[in-house]
Chain A
């Protein structure tokens, strides 16, 4: 059954979109990842204009983060003060990102920048995940605990603040800059940015792992909401019909994923996800390197 998307202006198969939402939702349920970094490239593969894919995916992430954060909030695993510091940077970063997005679109280089960002970030993350899953499957349960509170240059920064829930006394500039970078990525790549933010919060800030996911989800809700509104205003590329279809599939997939993920072997799965991430990375990278069938293309006219 086909449905015509009012903003993307193409006709797509409903079940394909629902299935994609379900599959990515399933993966995010199993692995506890947002899934934006898989969904946006897949949307582009099936022919959704990249600008629409990025803006619409931001809208969908609002939904999945809301449903994710509620569970963490109930257990008290959200550091709101830290969340607001991250968010402050996130709002600045994502607003800059949307500006940059429009600018690149007029220049005709938007698709390239989106694809390059994906190749770089998916490549790095895929390799890191693969290494980690190989290491940990070789020496199960013999890992040193992560060292917290190592004193270095970061502790010399001004504007120190106490983050009681995270048991940290650090410069507010740190979470703000992390938020800023993640906000920028959210706007350009159509991701929540959890895959960057979570490791940064653990290894850079030294936050306790329990509250990291809830706090990052809290930030992601508002940053992706900001991206959605700004994209809606400046580029009119948010397709609510597409977002709703992805949502419907994603919600169900995520719930199934959470239940199945609990019964599965973590390390092999993580390795599998790593391979998938690398697969998407290689596909996008290959398309950039391979000689195009036609060197010329028709694009949107610049202003």
Chain B
């Protein structure tokens, strides 16, 4: 019930925010941040929007960029050992596409390339010089495949649905292993294969409370953290031997 009410409020907000002229696009999220707390098991939120044109909607969510290394195993004697590796520079740690229809039906290759939409257009720059025996495409495909398996890359054709002529919504899911950082969400409004409008918003996903404190402590004051860790352990060990002495 509460959710429905929220949807209603959201829609009202979007409608009233909609200007009366021009090909306008307005959006809003049901959460403006995703906190990672001690009981975090992933998060889900809704994106609502209104498009005056009622065209095809495409939502692109990109997680923070990071250098990521793909390694290929090779059989050496009897065991499998990591052999060749390729590092992709500033590759998105999270990538999700949601659209009203499969993107091939309304998106041209040129636009996809220009806006870097979809896996084939994803700019994965390779670090350093790669020797000839490595086929980059294999590593790129493996990268995307592994990311999909981790639930960090995905596509949702048909996941954006219209309610009536102008109002649309989609569900965005973030698994428990989601990387922290700022997520860029781009919303495109297509008409006859052309982008007529684009809106962007940023969704921060950050550790909060004790999770953030422990993490920051471990990274910013790592020596003190290590010493505290052993003191806590030593105390716990001592406490245990005292507690159970006469049981």
Q: Which residues of A contact B (CB under 8 A)?
A: 1-4, 6-7, 9-11, 59-60, 62-68, 70-71, 108-109, 112, 116, 221, 225, 228-233, 236, 238, 240-241, 243-244, 247, 251, 254-255, 288-292, 294-302
Contacts and interface: CB of A to CB of B under 8 A. Distances in A.
Nearest to A1: B39
Contacts of A59: 229-230, 233
B68 interface: yes
28 contacts: A2-B176, A3-B39, A4-B36, A6-B210, A7-B214, A10-B176, A11-B176, A67-B237, A67-B238, A108-B69, A109-B81, A225-B230, A228-B230, A229-B226, A236-B218, A238-B218, A238-B225, A240-B228, A241-B214, A243-B229, A289-B80, A296-B73, A296-B145, A298-B150, A299-B69, A299-B85, A301-B87, A302-B85
Interface stretch (B22-30, B115-123, B164-172, B239-247): B239-247
Interface residues of B, number: 61
Does more than half of chain A's interface fall in helix, strand or loop, or is it mixed? helix
A296 B146 contact: yes
B79 A288 contact: yes
B142 A296 contact: yes
B17 interface: no
Contacts of B219: 236
Given A7-B218, A63-B237, A298 B39 contact: no
Given A4-B40, A62-B233, A296-B146, A289 B211 contact: no
A297 B73 contact: yes
A67 B82 contact: no
A63 B233 contact: yes
B70 A232 contact: no
A229 B223 CA distance: 6
B234 A63 contact: yes
Nearest to A11: B176
B226 A233 contact: yes
Contacts, number: 180
Contacts of A65: 237
Interface in B63-85: 66-75, 78-82, 85
Contacts of B142: 294-296
A295 B74 CA distance: 8
Contact of A232 (B72, B222, B238): B222
Query: Which of A4, A108, A233, A238 counts the most chain B CB atoms within 10 A?
Result: A4
B8 interface: no
A103 to B, nearest CB: 14
A109 B82 contact: yes
B70 A71 contact: no
Contacts of B212: 6
Contacts of A7: 214-215, 218
B139 A296 contact: yes
A300 B240 contact: no
Given A60-B233, A298-B143, A70 B241 contact: yes
A10 B211 CA distance: 12
B234 to A, nearest CB: 5
B207 A6 contact: yes
A67 B241 contact: yes
B223 A232 contact: yes
A231 B233 contact: no
Given A109-B82, A229-B223, A6 B215 contact: yes
Given A4-B211, A59-B233, A66-B241, 16 more contacts: A7-B215, A11-B41, A59-B229, A63-B236, A65-B237, A228-B229, A240-B218, A247-B236, A254-B240, A289-B78, A289-B80, A292-B80, A295-B142, A296-B72, A298-B143, A302-B85
